[in-house]
A and B are shown apart, each in its own frame.
Chain A
Amino acid sequence: MLKKRGITVVAFAVLAVSLAASALIVHLVDRMSADTRLEDVLYLPSARVLKRVSLGYNTLVADLYWTRAVQYFGSKHHSRSSRYDLLYSLLDITTDLDPRLLVAYQFGSIFLAQSPPEGAGQPLLAAKLVEKGIRHDPENWKLYYNLGWILASEMKDYQAASKVFERGSKVPGANPAMGVLAATTAQHGGDVATARLMWTQIYETTENTAIRANAIKRLQALRVDTDIPQLEQSLKQFQEAIGRLPRSWAEMQATGWRGPTVDPLGSPYLIMPDGHVEVADPEEFPFITRGLPPGYKPPFTPDISPALAGNSQQNSQPQKP
């Protein structure tokens, strides 16, 4: 029976080696250009066909597409890409298959509307998506936040946004902040306070970690955008009084001044020789408009692809509620 033992040993060895090697290759193939892999994600581009093929398991297939949408966005983001061509299609199909998948609308509203590289830069498509959600589920007050935000923040149409918030505030069970936003947006659409309220509500009305993380970044940016002008103003006053800029915040504090000397992440703001204030690490604050070094470019340049440009021309104006 020695022959048998020999075969067993060889077969075991072959099995182990080939399994290990195959796992290695899977790993290698996964790491290969993420772009090429994800292009295949829209296997069947038509939701209608999909519904038939799903044989009734619509929500299951919707979940699959939702998962892929999140991964698609996540991996594009991590690979510092700025092209999100497929995001709308993915979310559109997802919501066609499962029109009540709230998180898909919320996710889409933010990450389709935000400018690259934090989003696809397609606010019109974002609005279209959320409007679809509202059509299918008008009693869901949370979606009005998303639509209102798109109109106000990315399209600067404060009147329209205010009307959306008002409609939302009338939905039974709506958060009272909605009514507040309806009012403030109409009057002070571009205000920091309004923006802060919107983002806080967006944070509160979802459990999706990506959306929440994004909201936090937004709120931090609002903080920075408020702090910087205030600090620069204080520096100017110091200079006029003493004749030079302070060497540190401690010096200013010694004069009895109080102010925000650290950014929302705890790093001290930097005093520049020309009187400007900058954040220590601009990359931590993707949405700030103040406190950036002059000529600062984010590490990856937005690439406005033809797809994005074409879309914004093709889409008609969203219906005003």
Chain B
Amino acid sequence: MNPDVLVLVEHLRGEVADISYVMLAAARALARGTGGRVIALLLGHQAQELARDLAADHVWYLDHPALAEFTSDAYQRALTPLLREQRPRAALLGDTSIGAEVAGVLSARLDWPLVSRCRSVGADDGRLRFTSQICGGKVMAEGDLPGPTALVAMVPGGFRPDAGRSQQPPPVTPMEAPALEGLRVSLRRYIEPEAGDVDIAKEPLLVAVGRGIQNQDNLGLAEDLAAVLGAVVCGSRPVVDQGWLPTTRLVGRSGKRVRPKVYLALGISGAPEHVEAITDSEAIIAVNTDPAAPIFAVARYGAVADMLDLLPALTAQVQQAKGG
């Protein structure tokens, strides 16, 4: 059996995504148990320089014009023969807009088991273990990494990206990509993010609202608090999907990553897609009616309350404090 651990490096428009470094750190933890190497798989076109800070024992680089930008079909076809031949103990992909699109297809095609939502992996007494985060972050699931080869789709949170970065450039081996013809998916163009009136990624003070806001009319309550605090209102996915806030105010996996001094999370349960975008905040203050809401696991301060009851009282008291 091949004890190596492979990592599919995710990159978009010339930048390696943080999840790639998280996965390299996770792969190292597994490789300690298997005694194998950590091998980074880099797919691209004239993209070899992206390998320079990957903390891997080797980088295998597949270059092909059809791999210049991510498309699911080209990635799957490039990876299939390589994985089939290598049969590593584990192959890690991001549980992301890139990796999740490839992992399931490869699992079905290669008939290899797949563990998704994986937050942490490790070796314990010769056993390889995984921990996944399900039910919107409310439940953790643990088990043995299935074998003999497992695909693992990883979410951030269990390993620091810094642990997957290296000062020393790793050795890079160019490998031949298979023929990539008759592809069924192609990229037409990128659509740039809308430029909003404010860039929430740069705001020091955010009042964030989630499902607890209940309807659009209540948004005024959050706006009132933001006005007295000098903060900006942003929101989680359900609020933006309803059209109550513009997409430029979306915090989460497909929205912005924010790093304010204070993030006031009101009526936000704390699903992993949201939490991963706010962990760089200096202080998170969470208010939610559900005492089991996962947001309390990342908050510095928490209160179990209905945001709609709290908002008028809080706005009034802040106003008073400022006036006094």
Q: Do A and B bind each other?
A: no
Could you list which residues of chain B lie within 8 angstroms of chain A, going by C-beta atoms? none
